[in-house]
Structure 1
Amino acid sequence: MLFPRLLWQVPVVVCIVIAALFLINEYAIARSSRRTKDIAYVTASTPGYDSERHRLDVYQPTKPSTGNRPVMVFIHGGAWNSGNKNLYAYIGRRLADLNIVAVLINYRLSPSVEVPDMALDCARAVSWTQNHIAEYGGDPNRLFVMGHSAGGGLAALLTTDDALFKKLGVSNNPIKGAILDDPGGLDMFDYLTKMEYPGDEKYLIPFGKKPAVWHDVSPMYYVKAGSPPMLIYAGERTYPSIASSTRRFGQRLQELGVTYQFKVIPDKKHIGMVTQLFWKNNVIYTDLLKFVGAGI
Structure 2
Amino acid sequence: MSDLEGWPGSGLSDEELDVAYNVRRKAGPELFERHMARYREMSEQAVDGLPGHPGIAYDEASGERLDVWGVGDGLRPVFVFLHGGYWMALSRDVSSFMARALDEQGVATVVPDYTLAPEASLEEIVRQARAAVAWVYRHGREHGLDPERIVVGGSSAGGHLTAMTMVGGWQDDVGLPQDVVKAAMPFSGLFDIRPITRIYVNRYVKLDLERAAALSPALLDAGHRCPAVFVAGEDDGDGFLEQSRLFQPRWGAGELMIVPGRDHFDVVLDLADPESRVSAELMRLIRR
Q: What's the offset of the Cα at 1:168?
A: 2.8
* 8 Å Cα contact 2:168-2:224 kept in structure 1: no
Q: What's the offset of the Cα at 1:225?
A: 6.5
Q: What's the offset of the Cα at 1:171?
A: 5.5
Q: Deviations over 1:103-132 (max 9, x none)?
A: 111001101012110000011111111011
User: Is the aligned partner of 1:91 residue 2:108?
Assistant: no
- Alignment partner, residue 193 of structure 2: 188
- Alignment partner, residue 106 of structure 1: 113
User: Is the aligned partner of 1:201 residue 2:211?
Assistant: no
> Given the alignment, which residue of 21, 39, 42 partners 2:59?
42
Once the two structures are superposed, the pairs formed by residues 11-22 of structure 1 within 5 Å of their partners are none
- Mind listing any 5+ residue stretches in structure 2 that lack a counterpart? 1-40
Aligned partner of 1:60: which letter?
A: G
Q: Deviations over 1:115-162 (max 9, x none)?
A: 110000011111111011112222111111010111011001111143
SS of 1:201's equivalent in the other structure is: coil
Q: Distance in 2 between matches of 1:225 and 1:160?
A: 6
* 8 Å Cα contact 2:248-2:256 kept in structure 1: yes
SS of 1:93's equivalent in the other structure is: helix
Once the two structures are superposed, the pairs formed by residues 1-296 of structure 1 within 5 Å of their partners are 33-43=50-60, 46=61, 49-50=62-63, 54-62=64-72, 64=73, 67-163=74-170, 165-170=171-176, 172-183=178-189, 185-189=190-194, 191-192=195-196, 195=198, 200-206=199-205, 208-222=206-220, 224=222, 226-253=224-251, 258-293=252-287
SS of 1:247's equivalent in the other structure is: helix
Q: What's the offset of the Cα at 1:204?
A: 4.6
Q: Distance in 1 between matches of 2:78 and 2:177?
A: 20
Q: Which has the higher contact order (CA 8 A, sep 6+)?
A: 2
TM-score by length of 1: 0.76
How has the CA–CA distance of structure 1 residues 112 and 169 changed in structure 2, closer, same or farther, with 3 Å as cutoff?
A: same
TM-score by length of 2: 0.78
Q: CA RMSD in A?
A: 2.3
* 8 Å Cα contact 1:61-1:97 kept in structure 2: no
Aligned partner of 1:168: which letter?
A: V
Q: What's the offset of the Cα at 1:209?
A: 3.5
Aligned partner of 1:56: which letter?
A: L
Q: What's the offset of the Cα at 1:95?
A: 1.7
SS of 2:154's equivalent in the other structure is: strand
* 8 Å Cα contact 2:169-2:221 kept in structure 1: no
SS of 1:86's equivalent in the other structure is: helix
Aligned partner of 2:249: which letter?
A: Q
Identity %: 24
Q: Distance in 2 between matches of 1:135 and 1:226?
A: 27
Q: Distance in 2 between matches of 1:209 and 1:262?
A: 28
- Alignment partner, residue 13 of structure 1: none
- Alignment partner, residue 15 of structure 1: none
- Alignment partner, residue 3 of structure 1: none
* 8 Å Cα contact 1:223-1:252 kept in structure 2: no
- Mind listing any 5+ residue stretches in structure 1 that lack a counterpart? 1-21
Q: Deviations over 1:263-287 (max 9, x none)?
A: 1100211111123333222211111
Q: Distance in 2 between matches of 1:68 and 1:278?
A: 22
